[in-house]
């Protein structure tokens, strides 16, 4: 067993430690010390500094993890949002709305009712009236589908916004620590 002389980083007192000892408490100032055995020299480090550094690193890792969670959530939402988007005649993409679906359906149904009325009153053959009925059913189905899609979009967006707010709140708390 080899005894090594080291200096306390807390108060400067000389300490004698066994070469196998990794941690020691100063007999004078009661500082907790790590004994570092480098190839050329043996010295001590205050454990409080190491603990602070470790705590700071843990806090930094938490901030990084939360930032990654936020970025992943935003990427996932971007992909999910694309699945809800409606494509217009000219290829433009838009978010579905219940108002837009109902308004489009009503306009289409008014046109079809006029079509059926004119076809029936002018004595047009039955296929013209039937065509209007089929198109009217198609408009109704699309109006319902658009409304359901808009409702689903609103629910998904609400969930995304709530989760994002939670992560942002956690991130702000982690940054304050």
In contact, 47 and 36? CB cutoff 8 Å? no
The rounded distance, in Å, linking the Cα atoms of 33 and 12 is: 12
- Distance set, CA 114 to CA 108, 131, 143 (Å): 10, 13, 18
Angle at the Cα of 41 from the Cα atoms of 35 and 43, rounded to 5 degrees: 30
Out of 1.10.4100, 2.60.120, 1.10.760, 2.20.28, the CATH code matching 3-51 is 2.20.28
Give the Å distances, CA to CA, from 30 to 11, 24, 41, 177: 9, 9, 23, 27
**73 confidence band (pLDDT: 50, 70, 90):** very high
Taking alpha carbons only, the member of 51, 53, 48, 46 closest to residue 11 is 46
User: What per-residue confidence (pLDDT) applies to 153?
Assistant: 94
Token reading at 72: 């992943």
Using CA atoms, how far apart are residues 94 and 119, in angstroms rounded to an integer? Answer: 35
**9 has pLDDT over 70:** yes
Window from 14-18, 140-144, 152-156, 170-174 with minimum mean pLDDT: 14-18
């Amino acid at each position: 067993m080899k005894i090594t002389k080291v200096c306390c980083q807390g108060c400067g007192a000389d300490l004698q430690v066994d070469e196998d000892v990794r941690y020691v408490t100063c007999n004078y100032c009661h500082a907790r010390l790590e004994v570092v055995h480098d190839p050329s020299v043996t010295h001590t480090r205050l454990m409080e500094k190491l603990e602070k550094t470790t705590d700071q690193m843990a806090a930094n890792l938490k901030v990084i993890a939360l930032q990654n969670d936020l970025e992943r959530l935003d990427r996932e939402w971007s992909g999910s949002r694309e699945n809800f988007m409606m494509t217009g005649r000219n290829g433009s993409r838009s978010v579905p709305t219940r108002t837009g679906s109902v308004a489009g359906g009503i306009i289409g149904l008014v046109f079809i009712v006029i079509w059926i009325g004119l076809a029936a009153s002018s004595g047009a053959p039955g296929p013209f009236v039937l065509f209007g009925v089929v198109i009217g059913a198609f408009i109704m189905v699309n109006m319902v589908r658009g409304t359901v899609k808009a409702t689903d979009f609103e629910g998904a967006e609400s969930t995304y916004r709530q989760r994002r707010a939670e992560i942002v709140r956690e991130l702000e708390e982690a940054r304050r620590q």
